Each structure stands twice: as structure tokens, then as C-alpha cells.
Structure 1
Amino acid sequence: MLYVLILAGGKGTRLYPLSRAQNPKQFLNIIDNKSFLRSTVDRIKCLVSNENIYVVTNEEYFDKICEELPEIKKENIFVEPSNKETATCIGLSAAKLLKLDKEATMIVLPSDHYIENERKFKETVLQGVEIANKKRGLVTIGVQPTRAETGYGYIEMGDRVNADMPTFRVERFLEKPNSEVAKDLLIKGNFLWNSGMFVWRADVYLREMEKYLPKMYKRLMTIYQSLETDDESDVIKEQYNDIDGISVDFGIMQKTRKAFVIKCDFVWDDIGTFAALSRFLSNLRGNNVLGNTFMEESENCSVFGKDRLIIGFGIKDLIIVDAGDVILVMDKNKDQEIKHLVNELKESKETEKYI
């Protein structure tokens, strides 16, 4: 049977101070007056029923997710005992789904993507389901680049494996490139953006984990044996907390020989940075703005306002964010460095409370 797993435990640090520890970006209502999490769930209802929608998060966000998604049963919200990166939380979820259904096929989706054209999205995902089952492979969805983007990883397409759908073997994964490399990849034309959306059978994912992350696999199998027993909760905490976490890209996808990529034909954006979010703002005299703003003799600025009037006069290439108790003014070229800034703020008692 088909299941959807939504990854909703992230902090959204690169959108600080809009995204905060108590209210990270998956819960923000910025586009279309719906949270990113709500939009993700609404989008997948054309694929599965509510009973087959699962969310993995941490304990801190459990109540918020229950409130945001009242139609999803609490048992369908998997809680990580601690943050151990995506390979681990997907592995825990795969073990739980495999316990329910030996034939479980998982669609794994981040909770914070923007997607247009749900018909084509559904078509692409179902193609992924077909390949995942026929080839017993790990399928990722790739996006045709439209610019020399340095904020995404890339996938090199290998041989085509199906004449009826744009599906290819993965030749290799590339980490986020610098500007010159990104331009070269765009010109070559055989590279796709790595969207972070996946399709695979739960048993296949766990078998690949056994090959490449054997210590993690062993602990997850101990958890698997405890599921639906009185010791389940204690075993999960004990085993999970001792796992050395790693991302699914580094831990499995960059190592497996069973990776396939489907080139999608829908509009996609990863709303992970202010540069990405700026693409959805209104244009005011050459600036991207949200909220109560006035811009004069200013260019290429992104302004995220609320109730207070923000006036830009004679400024250029800035990001300005009014989050109420915190105001951020930043060079646009520092967009990818906010995580470092947040870590610096955490180290000071005076500023830690604002994270």
C-alpha cells in the first residue's frame, strides 16, 4: 500500500527571525494564507487517504501538528526522541510502516516546499511509485534548473530507464556548488536540482541502510522488534538516542547503486532562504516587499514587514525582516550564512532568548 511521510521536525534556521524554535517555518502562513505544512498535506490528499498520511517530527512540535492537522490521527505522528537527521528519522518511520504493511511504499516529502500544478505533481509521484516497485530502487524527484542556483544540491542524470517517463539512473550527487560550478552545470543540461522528495519501498530503504549504515540499521531493527509491545517506548528512546545521525543524502543516496531520478514537470521551490521566499513577494519599485513598506531610491532589497511601516531610502541589496521582537538587517549576499549567525546568538545569554 502507498503511504506519505512528511518531514516536519526542522527548525528553519535560515529563515530566522521569521522562523523561530517555537514556531519554525513549516507553521508559517506566508504564501496563500496557509502554512507550508498545511499546503503539503492538502497537496497529497489526491494520492492517499488521511489514514495513510504520516508525519515525523520531534516532541516539541507534536501539539502544534495535532492542532494544525486535526484530520490526522495522533498515532500517525511519529515523534523522534532526539534530532538524528533525515536518514535516521526516515529509517524509524520505515520500520514502523513495515510493521504495519510488509509491502509499504513510502513517498517522503519535506513540509516546506512550494509546488504548482498538483496534477503534474501527482503524475510524477505515481511514476516514482511505479519505478520504486519495478526496479526495487530509491527514487528521487529532480527539478530542471532555471538558474545557476548555489543553494541546492544537484543530481547528474545517467542512462534513461523508461521510454514512457523521464526516469534516469543517478550518475552522481553533487553538493551545493559555488557560483562558477553552478553556471557550468546549468550549461551542461544533464544536471537536475535535488528536491529532497523521495519514493521507495520501506523494505528496500532499510536494506540499503543495512549496507551503508549497518550500526544504525541494527538499532532500528531492535526498535522494529519492540514495536507493538509494552517496551516499545523505552526501547525507541534507548536505541534512538545512541544513533549517530546523518542525512539521507550523505548516508544513503550518495552511496547506493539503486538510485533513480525522475525529472519533474511542475513548478517547485524550496522555501529555505530569504532569497527563495523573496520570489513570492510583491514588487515595489524594484524591491520585493511584504507588509507595510515604502521604498524610495532603493533597489534589489527584500523587505518582510508586519504592522509597522518600514521605509527604505537610498538602500541596495539588503534583506530587512521585522519579526516583532527582532529586526534583522542583512546584506543579501549573506543569505546562506544565517545559521552561523543564529549559532552566535545562542552563545550569548542576552540574545539566546530571541532564538
Structure 2
Amino acid sequence: MLYALIMAGGKGTRLYPLSRNSNPKQFLKVINNKSFLRNTVDRIKPLVNSENIYIVTNKEYYESICNEVPEINRDNIFVEPSNKETATCIGLSAVKLLKRDKDATMIVLPSDHHIEKVNEFHDTMKQAVETVQRRRGLVTIGVKPTRPETGYGYIKYAERINSRIPTYKVERFLEKPNLEVAKDLLLDGTYLWNSGMFVWRADVFLREMEKYLPKTYKRLMTIYQAIDTEEEDKVTDEQYELIEGISVDFGIMQKTRKAYVIKCNFVWDDIGSFESLSRFLSNYRGNNISGNAFMEQSENCSIFGDRKLIIGFGIKDLVIVDSNDVILVMDKNKDQELKYLVNKMKDNKDLSEYL
């Protein structure tokens, strides 16, 4: 049977201070009047019934998710004891789904992406499911690059397989490049952005994990044995303590020989930074703005206003964010370093209330 797994445990620190520990990115309503999580659930519903939609998160966000998408059964919300990266997060969900259905096929989706042309999204996912069932592979969704983006990973594709929507064997994965390399990849023409969306059978994914992450696999299978017993929570906590977290890209997708990529036609953005979010703002005198702002003799700034009026006078290449009790003023070129800033703030106990 077909299931959707939505990953919703991240902090979204690259959108700080809009995204906070108490209200992370997946709950933000920054493009339309719905949160990213709400949009993700609504987007997949035409393909997967609500009773087969699952969400994996941490304890901190469990109740928020229940309130945000109340139609999702509480038993369908998997809770991780701690954050051990995406390979573990997806692996835990895979063993839980496999316990319920030995033929489970998973559509794995981040909770915080923006997608347009939803009908084409549905067609792509149908193609991915067909490929998974026919070839028993691990399928990822690739996006044709439109700019030399340094914030995304890339996928180099090889020969095309017989399919309606362009589908290829994966030659290799490449992590976030610097600007010069990103320009070369754009010109090369055989690289796609790595969207972080996947489709696979749960059993096939776990077999690949057994090959490439055998220690993590062993821990997860111990959890599998305890599912639906009185010891499940205790065993899960114990095994999670022993797992060394790693992303699914580093841990499995870069190593497997079973990877395929579908080149999608829908509009996609992971809104992972203020630069990406700025593309969806209104243009005002050469600046991108939302909320309450007035700009004079200023250019190429991104302004995220709230209740206060933000006035820009004679400024250039800045990001300014008014978010409740925090105001951020940042050089646009520091966009990819915001996570570093938040980590530095964590070291200062006096700043903890602002995170």
C-alpha cells in the first residue's frame, strides 16, 4: 500500500528570527495563509488517503502538529526521542510502517517546501511509484537548475530509462558547491538540484541501509522487534542513544547503486533562506518587501516587516527582519551563515529566550 511520510522535526534556523524553537519553519505562514506543513498535507492528499499520511517529528512539536493538521490520526505521528538526522528519522518510520504493512511504499516529503503546478507534482509522484514497483529502486526527485545555487545539493544523472516523465539512473550526488562550481554545474546540463523528496519501498530502503549503515540498521531492527509491545518506548529511547546520526544523502543515496532521479516539471523551492523567501515578496523600488516598510534611495534589500514601520534610507544589499522581540539586520552575502550565528547565540545563556 502507498503511504506518505512527512518529516516535520526541523528547527529552520536559516530563517531565524521568523523561525524559532517554539514556532519553527514548518508552522510559518509566509507565502499564503497556510503553514508549510498544512500545504504539504493538502498537496499529497489527492494521492494518499489521510489515514495513510504519517508525520515524523520530535516530542516538542507533537501537540502543535496535532493542532495544525487535526485530520491526521495521532497514531500516525511518529515521535523521535532525539534528532539523529534524516537517515535515522526515515529508517525509524520505515520499520514502523513495515510492521503495519510488509508491502509499504513510502513517499518521503519534507514539511517545509513550496511547490506550484500541483497537478504536475502528482504526475511525478505517480511516475516515481511506478518506477519503485517496477525496478525496486530508490527514487529521488530532481529539479532543473535555473541559477548557480550554492544552498542545494546536486544530482548528476546518467542514462534515461523508459518512462513518461524523464527518469534517469543516478551517476552521483554532489553536496552544496561553492559559487564557481555551481556555475559549472549549471552549464554542464546533466545536473539537477536535489529536492530531498524520495519514493521507495520500506523493505528495499532498509536493505540498502543494512548494506551501507549496518550499525544503524541493527539498532532500528531492535526497535522493530519491540513495536506494539510495552517495551517499545523504552527500547526506542535506548537504541536512539546508541545511533550516530547521518543524513540519508550521505549515508545511503551517495553509495547505493539503486538510485534513480526523476526530472520534475513543477515549480519547487525549499525556502531554506531569506534569499529564497525574498523571491516570493513584492517588489518595491528595487527591493523585496513584505509587511510595513518604506524604502528611499535603497536597492536590493529584503525587508520582512511586522507591526513596526521599517524605513530603509540609503542602504543596499541588506536583509532586515522584524519578528516580535528580535530585529535582524544582515548582509545578504551572509545568508547561508545564519545557522552559524544561531549556534553562537546558543552559547550565550542570556540569549536563550530569544531563540
TM-score band by shorter chain is over 0.9
User: SS in structure 2 opposite 1:353?
Assistant: helix
Shift of 1:241: 2.0
The residue aligned with 2:120 is 120
Q: Deviations over 1:254-298 (max 9, x none)?
A: 010100000001000011100010001011001000101000000
User: Deviations for 1:37-79, whole angstroms, at most 9, x for unmatched residues?
Assistant: 0000000011111000000000000000000010000000000
More moved, 155-164 vs 27-36: 155-164
Counterpart of 1:147, as a letter, is R
Can you give the 5+ residue segments of structure 1 that lack an aligned partner in the other structure? none
For residues 310 and 324 of structure 1, what CA distance do their matches in structure 2 show? 13
Write the mapping of 1:20-99 to structure 2, written as runs, cut at 5 A.
20-99=20-99
SS at match of 2:244: coil
**1:192-251 Cα deviation digits (max 9, x unpaired):** 000000000000000000000000000100110111112111111111221111000000
Query: 2:260 — aligned with what?
Result: 260
Take 1:346 and 1:22, find their aligned partners in 2: how far apart are those partners? 15
Pair 1:137-2:116 in alignment = no
Q: Which amino acid aligns with 2:78?
A: F
Following superposition, the deviation at residue 159 of structure 1 comes to 0.7
Q: Which amino acid aligns with 2:223?
A: I
- What is the CA–CA distance in structure 2 between the aligned matches of 1:323 and 1:44, rounded to whole Å? 31
Q: Deviations over 1:134-168 (max 9, x none)?
A: 11110000000011111100000111112433100
1:270 aligns with 2:275: no
Equivalent position of 1:296 in the other structure? 296
Moved over 6 A (4+): none
Residue 132 of structure 1, CA deviation: 1.0
Please give the alpha-carbon distance, in whole angstroms, between the structure 2 residues aligned to 1:43 and 1:233: 31
TM-score, with normalisation over the residues of structure 1?
Answer: 0.99
Letter in 2 for 1:38: R
Which stretch of the first structure deviates more once superposed, 79-88 or 222-231?
Answer: 222-231
Give the residue type in structure 2 aligned to 1:96.
Answer: K
How far is the alpha carbon of 1:21 from its aligned partner? 0.5
What letter corresponds to residue 160 of structure 1 in structure 2?
Answer: R
Structure 2, unmatched stretches of 5+, are: none
Partner secondary structure for residue 140 of structure 1:
strand
What root-mean-square deviation, in Å, do the aligned CA atoms of Structure 1 and Structure 2 show?
A: 0.7
Instruction: State the SS of the aligned residue for 1:14.
Output: helix
Task: State the TM-score, normalizing by the size of structure 2.
Answer: 0.99
Aligned to 1:204: 204
